[in-house]
Amino acid sequence: MVNQVQTVDDTWRRCSKSDSSGASNSGGESSKESSRSSTPVLDTDRTDRLRDKMRRRTESGDHWFSLEFFPPRTASGAVNLISRFDRMGSGGPLFIDVTWHPAGDPGSDKETSSMMIASTAVNYCGLESVLHLTCCNQTKEKITGYLSKAKRLGLKNIMALRGDPIGTDWEEEEGGFNYATDLVKHIRCEFDDYFDICVAGYPTGHPEAQSYDEDLKHLKEKVDAGADFIITQLFFRADTFLKFVRDCRAIGITCPILPGIFPIQGYQSLRQLVKLSKLEVPEEIMRVIEPIKENDAAIRNYGIEHAVGMCRMLLESGEVPGLHFYTLNREVATMEVLRQLGLWIEDPRRPLPWAVSAHPKRKVEDVRPIFWASRPKSYIYRTQDWDDFPNGRWGNSSSPAFGELNDYYLFYLKSKSSKDALLKMWGEELTSEKSVYEVFTSYIMAEPNQAGHKVMCLPWNDEPLAPETNLLKDELAKVNRRGVLTINSQPSINGKPSSDSIVGWGPPGGYVFQKAYLEFFTSSENVTALLQVLKKYEPRVNYHIVNVQGQNTTNAHDMQPNAVTWGIFPGREIVQPTVVDPVSFMYWKDEAFALWIEQWAKLYEDESPSRMIIKYIHDNYFLVNLVDNDFPLDNCLWQVIDDMFELMPAVLLDIHSLY
């Protein structure tokens, strides 16, 4: 959060929609957008608004937290921040917010822009997000353009700030944005009630304000202009915040006021922040910190202890329903504070087995093909242009128009590991297909490969095995060793409680089910044997087998989707969030085969033996998926694979089992 000052100014009260009618393209778009915002669809969205969620949590006496991040400087920083979103999102923040860095081209399509980071948080990580926006030195058209773009990207919440003037000689501008209040009014004027708006509060008064009381009046103006809640600047004593809240209430500010919590994480970062925000660090804190200023760990431990103590006082005061954390893009301290407070939900209840996107238009989405289970961001990217999403039944509204892979997409979804790290994991030099089998096996077993490096990811799996898949570890390792290169699987589940810590999802009091699923690449020799074997397993096992050219064999003759994950809940229709869909499988196979080349083969020199081996697999192996429809019985898919190996000609078997 950046400093901000304001005075009473009526300029913006005169704003009306006709103001923007003669404006630039972005202004024109805003008019169109704001007329759309009164459609019934958005009306039904209302209960899902951040301010309503906040109100409901507050009314229920529940405590919650939110997390602030700033946009990274580099592309690889962006990839890391997105992973951090996933990890910290799993703790259950009510929302995250992303600061606005005017110097960093914040509204652009660059992967490091505030806009793109916030959009990724919403769309790909499924996090309720607040985008900061500063208005200082900006034209109305520019601001309207940013807001329209934010809306288009699915962002629903704005933190309205003045921002820092460029240079020191800032002066009020006639008809321009001089104060955050102007921005709040502009948002309400151009976008009606579409956005939830947050504004900044200063527990010790804004440094540029004439007085603490004067600053409170400005805050009141921001709220009166249409802000929904307040987040405060950081502070060091619970009393500071509690007095501030009392003073706000006394002058008629009734909206939620969230305390900004800054766990001290190091001597330098504290100094820098204090300087920027013109705050004074209380002497009792300086007395502890000064002697240990070279010891980062000690300072961090103190910072955690101090933050926990302050947060406890705030929560116990009864005035504070939720805590807002300035994370400085770091995980450890904030997570530790939240854990000690009992606010970090170690095993958050998942509404569905996959992470739900927070984009408003995907609200009804409740079924997806299983193929992208380990690549949900890719699925979201490739379906971002869909007009509506399957709800209840894949067959009803599935669109065959999957978006193509492209560079931008590959950026967001590329491996988090460096080329060097990948080579260590996947082999500096491959000598045969067997080297590849080994890589898969090491990944499954979470064991070091022959060169002594742990294989932490594969092109199809950016993370180590999911806990659920881990249940199948031994079986998976056994078949990977023999050239059944598994990239996706799930065990069968016959009615576990929806609260189950490993496989549970959905509301309490329900039961979840799964059909066993196995997806792998394997050689054409294996496929020949497999097809022979599968005759014995009709109609128990459904299969789809395809090579890179699209030669396709299946026993799903009517091309219907097969539900492989479903849940039964009190008072609801059946939820069936995961299907094996024959149509989308053909789109997935393009992606699955491409990853061999894009992520693996290209690590090696052109024409090198290593690259040729991967290329050979890409060109000749088949992608197979198998579903065991008989979920109450023991999974028969391992038996299918065993039978396949038994059927292999002795000579081939020899080669393949020589491990």
C-alpha–C-alpha distance, residues 499 and 345, integer Å: 13
Helices (H), ranges, 278-413: 283-289, 296-316, 332-341, 376-382, 394-397, 407-413
Footprint of a copy of itself on 141-200 (CB under 8 A): none
Q: Does 492 bind a copy of itself (CB under 8 A)?
A: no
For a copy of itself, the binding residue among 35, 391, 418, 432 (CB under 8 A) is 391
Which residues are the active-site residues? 68
Query: In this structure, are residues 365 and 357 in contact, taking their beta carbons and an 8 Å threshold?
Result: yes
C-alpha–C-alpha distance, residues 520 and 621, integer Å: 10
Give whichever of 27 and 390 is closer to a copy of itself, judged by the CB atom.
390
Footprint of a copy of itself on 620-659 (CB under 8 A): 627, 629-632
Q: Please compute Rg for the chain using Cα positions.
A: 28
C-alpha–C-alpha distance, residues 251 and 53, integer Å: 25
Q: How far is the CB of 623 from a copy of itself (least distance, A)?
A: 19
CA distance readout (Å), 625 to 438, 444, 581, 621: 21, 18, 11, 13
C-alpha–C-alpha distance, residues 543 and 556, integer Å: 7
Q: How far is the CB of 310 from a copy of itself (least distance, A)?
A: 38
Closest of 184, 254, 179, 190 to residue 226, by C-alpha = 184
Q: Does 487 bind a copy of itself (CB under 8 A)?
A: no
Q: How far is the CB of 423 from a copy of itself (least distance, A)?
A: 42
For a copy of itself, the binding residue among 349, 393, 414, 454 (CB under 8 A) is 393
Give whichever of 364 and 401 is closer to a copy of itself, judged by the CB atom.
364
C-alpha–C-alpha distance, residues 150 and 141, integer Å: 14
For a copy of itself, the binding residue among 51, 293, 416, 540 (CB under 8 A) is 540
Q: Does 539 bind a copy of itself (CB under 8 A)?
A: yes
C-alpha–C-alpha distance, residues 411 and 370, integer Å: 23
Q: Does 44 bind a copy of itself (CB under 8 A)?
A: no
Which residues lie below 8 Å from residue 608, measured CB to CB, with a gap of 6+?
Answer: none
C-alpha–C-alpha distance, residues 394 and 365, integer Å: 10
Place of tokens 């951090």: 84
Taking the alpha carbons at both ends of the chain, their separation in whole angstroms is 58
For a copy of itself, the binding residue among 542, 610, 625, 635 (CB under 8 A) is 542
For a copy of itself, the binding residue among 261, 563, 617, 626 (CB under 8 A) is 563
Of 233-241, 300-308, 456-464, 508-516, the window that binds a copy of itself (rule: CB under 8 A) is: 508-516
Of 306-314, 464-472, 536-544, 594-602, the window that binds a copy of itself (rule: CB under 8 A) is: 536-544
Give whichever of 246 and 572 is closer to a copy of itself, judged by the CB atom.
572
C-alpha–C-alpha distance, residues 170 and 141, integer Å: 21
Q: Does 204 bind a copy of itself (CB under 8 A)?
A: no
Give whichever of 334 and 514 is closer to a copy of itself, judged by the CB atom.
514
Q: Does 556 bind a copy of itself (CB under 8 A)?
A: yes
Q: How far is the CB of 350 from a copy of itself (least distance, A)?
A: 19
Of 90-98, 374-382, 460-468, 554-562, the window that binds a copy of itself (rule: CB under 8 A) is: 554-562
For a copy of itself, the binding residue among 562, 599, 625, 635 (CB under 8 A) is 562
Rounded to the nearest 10°, the torsion over CA 645, 595, 396, 490 is 40
Q: Does 63 bind a copy of itself (CB under 8 A)?
A: no
Backbone angles phi, psi at 494, to 5 degrees: -115, 80
Footprint of a copy of itself on 395-434 (CB under 8 A): 395-396
Tally the C-alpha atoms within 13 A of residue 300's C-alpha that lie toward its C-beta. 12
Query: In this structure, are residues 392 and 479 in contact, taking their beta carbons and an 8 Å threshold?
Result: no
Q: At 499, is the secondary structure helix, strand, or coil?
A: coil
Q: How far is the CB of 537 from a copy of itself (least distance, A)?
A: 10
Give whichever of 275 and 557 is closer to a copy of itself, judged by the CB atom.
557
At 228, the amino acid letter reads D
Q: Which helix (H) or strand (E) holds 275?
A: helix 267-277
Give whichever of 321 and 504 is closer to a copy of itself, judged by the CB atom.
504
565-604 mask for a copy of itself (x: CB under 8 A)?
-x-xxxxxxx-x--x-------------------------
C-alpha–C-alpha distance, residues 210 and 215, integer Å: 7
342-381 mask for a copy of itself (x: CB under 8 A)?
----------------------------------------
Q: Does 389 bind a copy of itself (CB under 8 A)?
A: no
Query: In this structure, are residues 481 and 505 in contact, taking their beta carbons and an 8 Å threshold?
Result: no
Binding site for a copy of itself (CB under 8 A): 391-396, 494-495, 508-511, 513, 539-540, 542, 555-556, 558, 560-563, 566, 568-574, 576, 579, 627, 629-632
